[in-house]
Chains A and B, each alone.
Chain A
Amino acid sequence: MPSDYVYHSNFWLEEPEDANPFAAKACYCHGYDVYGQIISRAGWFEYLLLMFKGERPQPAESALLERLAMVLANQGPKEASIRAAMNGGVAGTNHSSALMSSLAVGSGLYGGSQELEVCMRLWSECGQNIEHWKTRLQDPQEDERADIWPNLEHAPGFDPNGDDIPTTLRQSLDLLVEYAPSEGALHWLQAHRKALETSVGYPVSISSVAAAAFVDLGLDRDQGSMLYLILRLPGAAAHALEQKKMGWKKFPFYSSAIELEDDPGPYKPPVSEGKP
């Protein structure tokens, strides 16, 4: 008998132990026995795709997601979400706090999951029509209303602080294409990258590449965004732990770099007139 309050799920079923209704004897993910079959027979990325999409993926799809996960696993300290986790780690914060800071800073419209979501929305709007892409990249907003997310300040999926596509990103794109469907988004992005970069004026970023991979995997923008956030956490964790051991004395403290343009100087109490 369930309690008065129930949760509904279309993909997760639990069967209770005979002696304890709160403990599971078996769990099923989209109908498959998790502890009886999935864990022993599936790979991590096969399980992930099953969980998100509802069906066992093709081996090529699991392989593509695994390669993408490796591309995203560690973007290094230059990436803002990693740097955020390092700022937590260096002071010996809670591990979850470091990862929360990484998720928060890694969620943005510049290089984060919100930018990826916009990219995936544009994929659904523009498909493989390059003229549509060129138009929408110049004006990617959904509508004129204000929102909790600010307006984009650059073409989504492109890096306004870049000159040319970095070698590492080009290597990643070329590698992922080898695992991607021949008529899919990654192939199209590789073939049209230079034309799009010329139109935008700056190079593609990791958001574009990841979005195209998620499109090829048949994921929607919400699923893509969640996976993008998850798959970038390993590097954040490793860098946070490293800085904890490294110690704060070796970590940048920018105080001397910050210049106050209108510094009023030390406080001077007002002088009372007419008094000695």
Chain B
Amino acid sequence: MNHERLFKTESHWLTRIGKAYLTERVVLHGKDLHHELDHLEWLHLYLYSILERDPGVNVAKMLNSYWVGTSYPDPSIWPNHVAALAGSVRTTPSLGLMAGLSISEASIYGRRPEVRALDFFYRAGRWCDEGNALEEFVDNEKSRGRILYGYGRPLANTDERIAFTLDKAKEYGFAEGRYLKMAFAVYEHLNSKYGYSMNVAAVHAALAADMGFSCEEYQLILTPCFVTGMAPCFRDTKRRPEGSFFPIRCESIVYHGVGKRDWEDTPT
């Protein structure tokens, strides 16, 4: 490889995603935005923009339930806490909400567990397609020290979103999918063997697998999903006195480090 390939795209970008012919029209994946896509709800259009196809009303409604079901106006939740701090220090909505969304790409909640859980089900599916037992796959993952995303939950033992999501899956025709059944089979095994609980990341990912999303598509789809909970957190602190959102006193920083020492006593 070398720099030669850069010449090709230095001043020319050939694409199929669409284009904004400013002052004239906008094409998105082959359709006119203002004439052929104007009937779509915004979230449905977002799916179309990611998937490059219309996934249909039921998929859009199912995913809408993910967004609705995770719109928690509670600033104790860490991304919301960032949005609340942003309001408390009087910064702007874009900065506060985008920062909150950005930290939603976390390892113990949000995007990484979601992507890893979806990948887990696809790999488990391939394992089972080869005639192997699901329980064996789960045990192999566990024996390799891997976190089984979607099982167990950092702050609670039950997940109020599961029943909500399953109701929606039934309503929109996704209650009998292969991967949703697999999610519960994995739960039964982990619960009986290790006492694990299941959280909504497993249910969401299994349904996503049944809807056929790639991991990248799923990550993009869920990226904005906490934002609705952040907006009220931002506004709530914005209305209160500056800096009044759970202030920290000096003694609430509990120190566990080395004792006080003099700079000159430890020359380098």
Which A residues have a C-beta under 8 Å from some C-beta of B? 1-3, 5-16, 21-24, 28, 30-33, 37-38, 41-42, 54-59, 94, 96-97, 100, 104, 144-148, 150, 154, 160-163, 201-202, 254-255, 257-264, 266-267, 269
Complex formed: what's the CA distance from A141 to B216 in Å? 17
Please tell me which one of the listed residues A94, A161, A255, A266 contacts residue B6 in the complex, with CB atoms under 8 A apart: A161
With a CB–CB cut-off of 8 A, which chain B residues contact A13?
253, 255, 257, 260
**Contact A262 B249, CB 8 Å, known A30-B257, A161-B1:** no
Does B118 belong to the interface (CB within 8 Å)? yes
Does B130 belong to the interface (CB within 8 Å)? no
Interface centre among B112, B250, B255 (most CB of A within 10 A): B250
Complex formed: what's the CA distance from A95 to B253 in Å? 30
Number of interface residues of B (CB under 8 A): 66
B18, A9: Cβ atoms under 8 Å?
no
B3, A16: Cβ atoms under 8 Å?
no
Please list 26 pairs of residues, one from A and one from B, whose beta carbons are closer than 8 Å in the complex, sorted by A's number.
A2-B252, A5-B246, A5-B252, A8-B256, A12-B253, A12-B255, A13-B255, A21-B250, A23-B250, A28-B260, A30-B257, A54-B258, A56-B263, A100-B98, A100-B99, A145-B120, A147-B116, A148-B105, A148-B111, A148-B112, A148-B219, A162-B2, A260-B19, A260-B27, A263-B19, A264-B32
A264, B116: Cβ atoms under 8 Å?
no
Does B160 belong to the interface (CB within 8 Å)? no
Please tell me which one of the listed residues B1, B3, B252, B263 contacts residue A6 in the complex, with CB atoms under 8 A apart: B252
B216 to chain A, nearest CB (A): 7
Complex formed: what's the CA distance from A62 to B198 in Å? 49
B89 to chain A, nearest CB (A): 11
Which 9 A-B pairs rank lowest in CB-CB distance, beginning with the nearest? A146-B119, A16-B250, A14-B250, A267-B32, A13-B255, A21-B249, A37-B263, A146-B215, A31-B261
A7, B252: Cβ atoms under 8 Å?
yes
B13, A259: Cβ atoms under 8 Å?
yes
B104 to chain A, nearest CB (A): 11
Closest chain B residue, CB of each to CB of A253:
B22
With a CB–CB cut-off of 8 A, which chain B residues contact A162?
2-3
Task: Scan residues 216-268 of chain B and give those whose CB is less than 8 A from a CB of chain A.
Answer: 216, 219, 246-264, 266-268
Does B70 belong to the interface (CB within 8 Å)? no
Does B30 belong to the interface (CB within 8 Å)? yes
With a CB–CB cut-off of 8 A, which chain B residues contact A257?
11-13
